[in-house]
Amino acid sequence: MSKTPSQQDNEILPFFEGLKKFKRFRLLEPSVGVLGFFFVTLCVICCFFYLDYRAAAKGFLFTTQSERFMWFRFGGPGEDRRVEFLTEQGDGCDVFDGGWEWDESYPLYQSKNCSFMDGGFRCSENGRPDIFYTKWRWQPKYCNLPRFNATMMLERLRNKRLAFVGDSIGRNQWESLLCMLSYVIPNKNSIYEVNGSPITKHKGFLVFKFKDFNCTVEYYRAPFLVLQSRPPAGALRKIRTTLKLDQMDWSSMKWGDADVLVFNTGHWWNYEKTVRGGCYFQVGKEVKMDMKVEDAYHRSIETVVDYIHTKINPNKTQVFFRTYAPVHFRGGSWKTGGTCHMETLPELGSSLVPPDNWSQFKTVMDVLSARTNRSEVLKLDLLNVTEMSSRRKDGHSSRYYLPDLAPLHRQDCSHWCLPGVPDAWNELLYALFLKHADARPSNLSSRTES
């Protein structure tokens, strides 16, 4: 039976009335209920991370890797595609191409248990409230690094010398390695400075001996690597000192025959630390009054590489050059109130490090590239920490380099908390050291005979 027009109109009317009501409803209009929902959700998330931190800070470690941080993995394929770096399959692996992964088994030591560390690196003991910065492990994309084994490294260093030469960031790394190695030594009194010098704020050089292994782990302060000396006779009065860009630092006579050398430089190569303070650049007997800092730095790196190629015996000494470790000042520089104390996590995306940090890295790479283009065999291993460290804005001493909290405008966003980022540099050093040693038949045979 067909419907009449009046019946059809009665059926259509409620539909149009509903449509009009739907149009009057504003889907995107904020309401107290919606805002309340988001507020409560945000509070729950914040409490979630806060409670996780509180548990970790009290020493309650989780039995398995925390699923809460599984999403903090920066690049890289699955573990099934990775090879072991120390195997033949790992020969072509770039260990500097990777990301930071959360690891509940870290750190490798606690600062309170290491007496071989400056107070300025003891961030947790100086009041830093978070410990997240100690929990990150460097993971290459295509291979796995060997787990750091202090006993194995000390055995490989038995009757040998390992020396760090460079600025205070090199000292930062040196003290990190002292703590990593001393962790397995029951009798800490068997580790001592051979001249009886204290480690805190000591200038010049320090030589720590591990008596049970008859090896030394040494540090030589040479922030420019090249020689800083008095100006030549007849120089202008404003010239207080000069950097002799064609001569190595005086300490080279002490560390030149070490078995392992780790060089670094860069943080003093700026206008404030050189020309502004009356330190000019010298080549031969001539002071280059108009030479730019960048050009002088390039010339000094050439001198360092020349020294390695002409003065270092590659059959005895393994040489590493650690690249520049970026600073992370925000809102200013070290002298204009720059800060980093609010940083608690690594960079999630691309690094925000200023371009001038990368210029140091580029200079080193330019010098090394020029050598390889001339078919010269490089007699050094590059410890390329620049990119990996650029993501770790959370790892600096910031306000926690003093027992009493440092002022907001006097932060240290150059040096690193220990335990922390320099430990990862030393894990890479350890992996490359083992790779190099295992590749030398003479070393293998000598170890077998012993």
**Active site residue ranges:** 168, 412, 415
Q: Give Cα 61 to chain centroid, integer Å.
A: 25
What is the rounded CA–CA span in Å between residue 118 and residue 115? 8
Cα-Cα end-to-end distance for the chain:
108
Alpha helices by DSSP H, 113-231: 150-156, 168-182
Among 50, 48, 44, which residue's Cα sits nearest to residue 344? 50
Residues in the chain: 450
Among 200, 112, 152, which residue's Cα sits nearest to residue 427? 152
What is the per-residue DSSP string for 129-160? Answer: ---GGGSEEEEESSEEPPPP-HHHHHHHTTT-
- List 321's β-bridge partners, or say none: 263, 382
What is the rounded CA–CA span in Å between residue 315 and residue 440? 9
Tell me 102's DSSP state: E
| DSSP strands (E only) in 22-116 | 83-84, 98-102
Alpha helices by DSSP H, 278-354: 293-311
SS3 assignment, position 223: coil
Q: Would you state the structure tokens that stand for residue 279, as one six-digit string?
A: 């330190």
The answer to whether 140 and 75 have CB atoms below 8 angstroms apart is no
